[in-house]
């Protein structure tokens, strides 16, 4: 595997000690190396919705789980789409992350009718309505307080995704941090991998990178960063 010797880490690093996924992706795409703190630091051809979500899960995942993100290396460049495409991606992230979490939380406190209504939502508008209704019911129900926040978050994200795809993607990533817990080894991260995979199938796809080109670009990055963990001009 071309990327086997890459160690993904949270934050910004050099390749020898580890980089975050977007820093490695920028170099693989043929751009000059640079620290990537958020999607604003990326070339314009990267989908902001996808990369805001990637930034959140890259930094939230435990070290071993984070390495699963290597399957997305070489797949993020050239993905920026139209406003309609980016909204569809944000809707996908919200539906695959926030919605199931709200459904599970509502079932756990016996609010099955509201859980079913949230689960049945197929659009952002439907999810927002069902989510706020469920949050209100959970707040009023005995022992329902643990479901209020997940239901409200699902509704709020649906609202944000309608207005701003980028904000919705960042909110979806925030869910990973707050609900999964930073460094939680008991948390199931696979749904978030699945969400990213699904969102990447919407709209423009990354152009293929030949393995020999990828190896050369990674080699150049190693030489540029050195082995002492410091970036060189």
Q: What is the pLDDT of residues 124-159, one digit of tens each?
A: 889 889 999 999 999 999 888 888 877 887 887 777
pLDDT at 54 over 50: yes
DSSP state of 177: I
Q: pLDDT band at 113, cuts 50/70/90?
A: very high
What distance in Å separates the CA atoms of residue 102 and residue 115, rounded to the nearest whole number?
7
Average pLDDT, the chain: 81
Look up the pTM and report it. 0.80
Mean per-residue pLDDT for 204-217?
Answer: 88
Mean per-residue pLDDT for 97-114?
Answer: 88
Q: What percent of the chain stands above pLDDT 70?
A: 80
Cα→Cα distances 220→33, 71, 78, Å: 10, 21, 22
Bigger pLDDT: 11 vs 17: 11
Q: Extract the tokens encoding 193.
A: 């991998």
pLDDT of residue 181: 46
What distance in Å separates the CA atoms of residue 199 and residue 187, rounded to the nearest whole number?
21
pLDDT of residue 227: 36
Domain residue ranges of the chain, discontinuous segments joined by +: 1-80+206-233, 81-203
Bigger pLDDT: 172 vs 215: 215
Cα→Cα distances 158→50, 87, 125, 161, 192, Å: 17, 11, 7, 5, 17
What distance in Å separates the CA atoms of residue 53 and residue 114, rounded to the nearest whole number?
28
From 194, 4, 180, 21, select the one nearest 101 (Cα to Cα): 180
Q: What percent of the chain stands above pLDDT 90?
A: 22
What distance in Å separates the CA atoms of residue 8 and residue 13, rounded to the nearest whole number?
9
What distance in Å separates the CA atoms of residue 115 and residue 87, rounded to the nearest whole number?
25
Burial of 97 per CB tally in 10 Å (0-12, 13-18, 19+): buried
Span 60-101, pLDDT tens digits: 888 888 899 999 999 999 999 998 898 888 888 888 877 888
pLDDT of residue 232: 43
What distance in Å separates the CA atoms of residue 72 and residue 46, rounded to the nearest whole number?
13
What distance in Å separates the CA atoms of residue 26 and residue 81, rounded to the nearest whole number?
18
Mean per-residue pLDDT for 1-10?
Answer: 76
């Amino acid at each position: 595997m071309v990327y086997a010797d890459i160690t993904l880490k949270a934050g910004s690093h050099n390749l020898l000690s580890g980089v975050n996924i977007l820093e490695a992706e920028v170099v693989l795409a043929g751009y000059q190396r640079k620290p990537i703190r958020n999607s604003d630091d990326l070339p314009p051809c990267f989908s902001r919705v996808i990369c805001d979500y990637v930034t959140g899960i890259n930094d939230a995942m435990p070290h071993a789980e984070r390495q699963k993100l290597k399957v997305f290396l070489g797949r993020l460049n050239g993905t920026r789409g139209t406003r309609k495409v980016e909204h569809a991606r944000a809707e996908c992230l919200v539906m695959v992350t926030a919605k199931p979490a709200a459904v599970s939380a509502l079932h756990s406190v016996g609010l099955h009718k509201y859980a079913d209504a949230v689960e049945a939502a197929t659009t952002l508008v439907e999810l927002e309505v069902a989510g706020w209704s469920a949050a209100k019911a959970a707040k009023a129900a005995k022992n329902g307080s643990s479901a209020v926040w997940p239901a409200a978050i699902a509704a709020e994200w649906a609202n944000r995704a309608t207005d701003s795809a980028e904000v919705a993607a960042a909110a979806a990533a925030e869910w990973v941090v707050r609900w999964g817990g930073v460094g939680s080894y008991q948390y199931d991260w696979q749904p978030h991998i699945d969400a990213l995979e699904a969102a990447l199938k919407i709209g423009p796809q990354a152009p293929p990178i030949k393995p020999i080109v990828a190896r050369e670009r990674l080699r150049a990055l190693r030489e540029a960063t050195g082995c002492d963990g410091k970036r060189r001009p």
